[in-house]
Amino acid sequence: MGLSVTEKIIAAHIVKGNLTPGEPIAIKIDQTLTQDATGTMAYLEFEAIGIDRVKTELSVSYVDHNLLQSDFRNADDHRFLQSIAARYGIHFSRPGNGICHQVHLERFAAPGKTLLGSDSHTPTAGGCGMLAIGAGGLDVAMAMAGQPFHLNMPEVLGIHLTGELSPWVSAKDVILELLRRLSVKGGVGKVLEYFGPGVKTLSVTDRGAIANLGTELGATGTVFPSDEITLKFLRAQEREEDWKELLPDEDANYSEIIEIDLSSLEPMIACPSSPDNVVKVKEVSGKEVSQVIIGSCANSSLRDLTIAAKALEGRSINPNVSFEINPGSRQVLENSDVSGVLRTLIHAGARIHQSGCLGCIGMGQAPATDTISLRTFTRNFPGRSGTKNDQVYLCSPETAVASAITGKITDPRELGEAPRVEMPEKFVINDNGIISPPKDGANVKIIRGPNIKPLPDFEPLPEELEAKVVLKVGDNITTDHIMPAGSKILPLRSNVPAISEYVFSAIDPDFPKKAKESGNVIVVGGENYGQGSSREHAALAPRYLGVRAKLVKSFARIHKANLINFGIVPMTFEDPSDYDKISQDDTLTIPGIRNALLTGAKTVTVKSSGGDTFQARLELSERDRYILAAGGLLNWVRAELKKDG
Ligand code: MIC
Ligand code: SF4
């Protein structure tokens, strides 16, 4: 039986296990990336491991999230990140140089390699034929220390593309259509691999946009083949030497195949407030909009800015719309200057911002009360924009610009003949925003601001767990619910005691107080618990408040891994209807939980103060179990290192 591209990359990197889906494996990681909001913690963890220099082929630290400097804290973090990068052999991408995923695709992504990033949209680089996976900061720190990455061998879901996109329809519409069909949990445990004749009609930028939003399906990663289109892109980036061909075998076996005829797709839009709440644009057209933003790691490339500019030639922005451009990288910005795209956008009335995540993570750009904001972003979870009861829609740059012109949600096909967009044979390239580390960093002084607090220590798991249900929530709870972001909370990412005061703040502002009063805490939830970001603060901060276990119907992959890393036991209901037997404020007792973990038990008995007894499942590898018993990954690694002398 032939292999898919995903299986070929995994086979070339596997250090433990085999290619059987669902079984635990470990793979060698070639490259890592971090961004500033997760990076400060990841580097503190790397320091705590005690290695002198990173052991990867390439590690890059990006500053793209916390760009707002309303006091010293973010600026201090930037200096910390720059100094620690030089100390340990990491490339540093300066603030304003661009969003990690866009810059990585441009300057570092390489077919056939593995990339682990402390950001959930790391799979964007899969558009360039690599296996790129999002993870918590501690897993990335371990990869920088030369340790393999542990995961369950994913199923490889084949997406067979035929046909060609129609005018005014673009990559974002492909992935929105997939979100419509599969929902935010349709990709859990899977890598999505695209193949078939339609792939050749998509540029690497298009492929990157599709791979980026595979994350919203809950997928472990998205992989495109590496072909002559990939070569063309790498040549335009003056990185031809990084190319190698990587195609699936003719008889590659996919666990399932989904057919998409690109020619049949229409402009699509995700309505508030979930990326899978997708309909055709024409079904919601005519609604008034107050803000339109082209940006984020999904859609802020030169191609995206160019189509917007071409559509705007001879037209102006509607006076009731704030039309904003967040270029994905300085390369995008500089090239749009050279090509005249920038001038057209400015002339038409666009507000041009610096390169970075900005409003995508609530760092400014909050929309006005009770108005619609149309964004080319990745996520529209409730309140993520910074405005209460926000109405954020996600769409393509084509739909965005058409709506900015008319002031209403508009199917871009109404603009008439579609402009042609050509990309340059060679981009203008300038790497002065990326600082290479010195050969020897031993004498580099690490600069720490007063907001950077040491990592808390956590004790091992007790033999029996008695914990209070301080919160019971429903399905599809996101990490934005658990540990919100935004301009007020993000500057606290290097300060666990301070950030923990905001855990679950949008659901129950008293959660931190109640948790601290309760001693041990358990949170009960529904399906796809912890979807969304890779932020380990959504595990670390609750653990700091006393959360010792979570009992839910199902977990999202990265959040479950983060819970394990910080010693919170992830359990699922053996019988999902037992969820209804638990009330908030019940106390749950799990006798012998530690022993159950260490002896490999598949279930534990949970006794509720409400009088019910039921079974909870422990879907964990042997390694996960040791980590949990030790109270978290750092405790376990330190103990292992001691054993090795
Ligand atoms: C996001 O898009 O939610 C973020 C902000 O990029 C997160 C990372 C973080 O919370 O720092 C992600 O996607 O992992
Ligand atoms: Fe940044 Fe938004 Fe992309 Fe997250 S999804 S990396 S916040 S642009």
Contact between residue 133 and residue 27 where contact means Cβ atoms under 8 Å apart: no
Distance 134 CA to ligand 1 centre (A): 10
User: Is residue 59 within a helix (H) or strand (E), and if so which, with residue range?
Assistant: strand 58-62
CATH number, domain with residue 351:
3.30.499.10
pLDDT value of residue 603? 98
* Same domain? 212 vs 325: no
State the ligand closest to the CA atom of 556.
1
Name the percent of the chain lying above pLDDT 90.
Answer: 98
User: What are 493-503's pLDDT values in tens digits?
Assistant: 999 999 999 99
**pLDDT for residue 143:** 98
Predicted local distance difference test score (pLDDT) of residue 285: 98
Atom of ligand 2 nearest to the CA of 37: 7
Q: Where does the pLDDT of residue 645 fall: very low under 50, low under 70, confident under 90, or very high at 90 and above?
A: low
Cα atoms in the 13 Å half-sphere on the side-chain side of 65 = 27
**Model confidence, pTM:** 0.98
Q: What digits encode the pLDDT tens for the residues 355-399?
A: 999 999 999 999 999 999 999 999 999 999 999 999 999 999 999
Question: Does residue 644 surpass a pLDDT of 80?
Answer: no
pLDDT at 511 over 90: yes
Coil, strand or helix at 119: coil
Ligand nearest the Cα atom of residue 297: 2
**Is residue 455 one of the residues assigned to a domain?**
no
Mean pLDDT of 71-81: 97
In the prediction, which pLDDT does 641 show? 77
Instruction: Establish whether residue 119 lines the binding site of ligand 1, counting it when its CB lies within 6 angstroms of any ligand atom.
Output: yes
pLDDT in tens, 172-229: 999 999 999 999 999 999 999 999 999 999 999 999 999 999 999 999 999 999 999 9
Q: What is the pLDDT of residue 1?
A: 83
For the chain, the domain total comes to 3
CATH number, domain with residue 503: 3.20.19.10
Query: Is residue 423 very low, low, confident or very high in pLDDT (cuts 50, 70, 90)?
Result: very high
Residue nearest to atom 1 of ligand 2 (CA): 357
Q: Same domain, yes or no, for 220 and 280?
A: no
Judgement on whether residues 287 and 251 belong to the same structural domain of the protein: no
Q: Which of 385, 415, 445 is the last residue of a domain?
A: 415
Domain boundary among 218, 240, 264: 264
Q: CB neighbours of 269 closer than 8 A, spacing ≥ 6?
A: 176, 278, 279, 280, 281, 284, 393, 394, 395, 399, 409
Whole domain around residue 163: which residue ranges?
A: 5-264
From the alpha carbon of 101, which atom of ligand 2 is closest? Answer: 6
361 CA to centre of ligand 2 in angstroms: 6
Which residue ranges have their beta carbon within 6 Å of ligand 2? 65, 99, 119, 121, 296-297, 357, 360-361, 378
Same domain assignment for residues 532 and 596: yes
Average pLDDT, the chain: 97
- Is 535 touching ligand 1 by the criterion CB < 6 Å? yes
User: Ligand 1, residues 74, 120, 536: which to mutate, most atoms within 8 A of Cβ?
Assistant: 120
% the chain with pLDDT above 70: 100
Ligand 1 pocket residue status of 533, Cβ below 6 Å: yes
For residues 75 and 178, membership in a common domain is answered with yes
93: how many CB neighbours lie within 10 A of its CB? 30
Ligand nearest to C-alpha 360: 2
Inside any domain, residue 453: no
Q: Is 29 part of any domain?
A: yes
Closest ligand by atom to 363 CA: 2
Q: Which atom of ligand 2 is nearest to the CA of 378?
A: 5
State pLDDT tens for residues 92-102.
999 999 999 99
Nearest to 36, CA basis, from 68, 12, 11: 68
178, 183, 189, 193: CA torsion to nearest 10: 0
Give the pLDDT confidence of 128-160 residue by residue, as tens digits: 999 999 999 999 999 999 999 999 999 999 999
Same domain, 224 and 339: no
Nearest ligand, CA of residue 478?
A: 1
* Domain-located, residue 259: yes
448 lines ligand 1 (CB under 6 A): no
Residue 78 clears pLDDT 90, i.e. is over it? yes
Is 242 in the same domain as 307?
Answer: no
| Residue 472 confidence class, pLDDT cut points 50, 70, 90 | very high
Same domain membership, residue 272 and residue 128: no
Read off φ and ψ for residue 311, nearest 5 degrees: -65, -25
Q: Among 415, 431, 450, where does a domain finish?
A: 415
The answer to whether residues 488 and 578 belong to one domain is yes
275 and 381 together in one domain: yes
Residue 439 lies in a domain: no
Give the pLDDT of residue 542.
98
| Closest residue CA from atom 5 of ligand 1 | 361
Are residues 514 and 500 both part of a single domain?
A: yes
Measuring from atom 7 of ligand 2, which residue has the nearest CA? 361
Which string of DSSP letters, residue by residue, matches 396-439?
Answer: -HHHHHHHHHHSB---GGGG-SPPP----SS-----TTEEPPPS
Q: Do 243 and 366 lie in a common domain? A: no
Q: How far is the CA of 479 from the centre of ligand 1 (A)?
A: 9
Residue 642 CB contacts under 8 Å (≥ 6 apart), including other chains? none
Which atom of ligand 2 is nearest to 300's Cα?
A: 8
Query: In the predicted model, what is the mean pLDDT of residues 464-469?
Result: 98
Please compute the mean of the pLDDT values over residues 528-550 and round it to a whole number: 98
Q: Would the CB of 34 count as within 6 Å of ligand 1? A: no
Cα 111 to averaged position of ligand 1 atoms, centre (Å): 25
